[in-house]
Structure 1
Amino acid sequence: MTGTADAVFAAMTPVLEGIAATFGRSCEVVLHDYRDPERSVVAVAGAVTGRRVGDAMSEIGLRVLAAGDDARNEVGYITRAQDGRLLKCTTLPLRDVDGTLIGALCVNVDLSAINRATGVLSDLLGLSAAEDTGATTDFSGDLDRVVDSLVGRAERAHAVPVTALGREDRLALVRSLHDAGVFGLRGAPGRIAQRLGISRTGLYNDLAELKKDKP
């Protein structure tokens, strides 16, 4: 229901400024319209990740989109921006009156200043700083870079280029990309096949193999 979805986004847009103003300059609020994944960002308040209207969704958005009806609120999870800053994020799926997933409201808080203050207090009190386990998220707004980030993560995990992966390791990578929702994007098979150094036919064969493995 396009009219209902448009009404949801129109109602949510003014909310962004209020949330961002409440939490101050370390907060950014982003509104996503999942009907156009390659230009999903429809409104932004604040400046933390550099997101702009017209940007594509990040890998977090791809994961939520892939979950579809099973998408749930993800509150207060920790991740890192590409420049190393630690972020605390919340992703709230948005639905129309029929319950169909249509977008998400995302809140990103830069923890840099808080971490610096925590470090000073920890030193004064003789305490050890808490260990950071946040994974890096690509917020570039470019889907090719998001795909490359996911593939690069697999390369680091296996310590070899993806073009050198064996059959089983490549299937595991294709499965992770599928679960991340990447294949729901226009032109994704061609991009991914090129990045993996295989033909589109080879990639489709991998996807068919994964379907056979499902219970």
Structure 2
Amino acid sequence: MKKKSNKQLLEMLRNMAEGLGETFAPFCEVVVHDLSNPKNAIYAIENNLSGRQVGQAVTELGLARIRDPEYPAVISNYANTFSDGRKVKSTSIGVKDESGEYVAALCLNVDLTLFQSFQGAISQFTRIDDREVHESLDTGAGHSERIHARIDEFAASRATSSRSLKPADRKQLVQELKKAGFLEIRRGAEIAAAHMGVSRATVYSDAK
């Protein structure tokens, strides 16, 4: 009866592995291990990236679970490697039967090669040369950040966001911005309006 129960469990895990493998292809290999049969532990393998085959023996982590029912059920995001040296991020989920013994495991192995290539390309693309050149592309001549900060500070004092201010509070804020001279600078009203999610005409109206 227990053997039949394990078979049903393994088939359920196989279906999960198939779905996960298809969802995260081509980056993630998903393997179902039958820990009740350590010499032929690999029960199913989806999106095969490691080159292993169904029927191969259990891994060291699988043996650790077989020996110790108290071994952690979830080991996530640990460093691993494929046989050809590719770096892998792995997660292993152990599954117990009714008696508390580990009988199966679902393992995900993410090939980091492509992601590391992306990371290198992005790092190169975003690299900035350390030269003594200073230029601002902000047509508000650098005032945008100060206007945004003043608005955000006012909104935070009322436990809300810049776009959720009540009309009366917004009017008070605009009056303060006007008094501080922010509406007199180039595009000041436009910058404030955009940050509060209202029209420039609304800002001019509140400023009266």
Tell me the TM-score normalised to structure 1 length. Answer: 0.55
Q: AA paired with 2:111?
A: D
Identify unmatched segments of 5+ residues in structure 1: 128-215
| Superposition RMSD in Å | 1.7
The offset of 1:21, in angstroms, is 0.7
Alignment-derived partner of residue 187 in structure 1: none
Which residue number in structure 2 is paired with residue 15 of structure 1? 16
CA–CA separation in structure 1 for the residues paired with 2:76 and 2:50: 18
Three-state SS of the structure 1 residue aligned to 2:39 is: helix
Contact 2:65 2:102 in 1 (8 A): no
Residue 70 of structure 1 aligns with which residue?
Answer: 71
- Separation in 2, partners of 1:106, 1:85: 17
8 A Cα contact 1:40 1:57, kept in partner? yes
2:81 corresponds in structure 1 to 80
CA distance in 1, matches of 2:14, 2:121: 38
Distance in 2 (CA, whole Å) between partners of 1:76 and 1:108 is 9
Alignment of 1:52-201 (within 5 A): 52-126=53-127
Q: SS at 1:30's partner residue? A: strand
The answer to whether the Cα contact below 8 Å between 1:4 and 1:97 also exists between their aligned partners in 2 is no
3-state DSSP class of the match of 1:70?
A: coil
* Equivalent position of 2:153 in the other structure: none
| Structure 1 Cα separation of the partners of residues 123 and 53 of structure 2 | 36
> 1:98: Cα distance to partner?
2.5
Higher relative contact order (CA 8 A, sep 6+): 1
Matching residue of 1:2: 3
In the other structure, the counterpart of 1:30 is 31
Name the aligned partner's letter for residue 36 of structure 1: N
Q: Distance in 2 between matches of 1:114 and 1:102?
A: 33
User: What is the Cα deviation at residue 66 of structure 1?
Assistant: 3.0
SS at match of 2:70: helix
Task: Encode CA deviations 1:152-182: one digit per residue, 9 max, x unaligned.
Answer: xxxxxxxxxxxxxxxxxxxxxxxxxxxxxxx
Higher alpha-carbon Rg: 2
Shift of 1:88: 0.9
Q: Which stretches in structure 2 are left out of the alignment for 5+ residues? A: 129-208
- In percent, how many aligned pairs have the same letter? 29
Aligned equivalents of 1:11, 1:120: Cα separation in 2 = 40
Q: 1:87, CA displacement in angstroms?
A: 0.6
Number of aligned residues: 127
Confirm or deny: 8 A CA contact 2:69 2:100 kept in the other structure: no
Distance 2:103 2:8 in 1: 11
C-alpha displacement of 1:53: 0.6
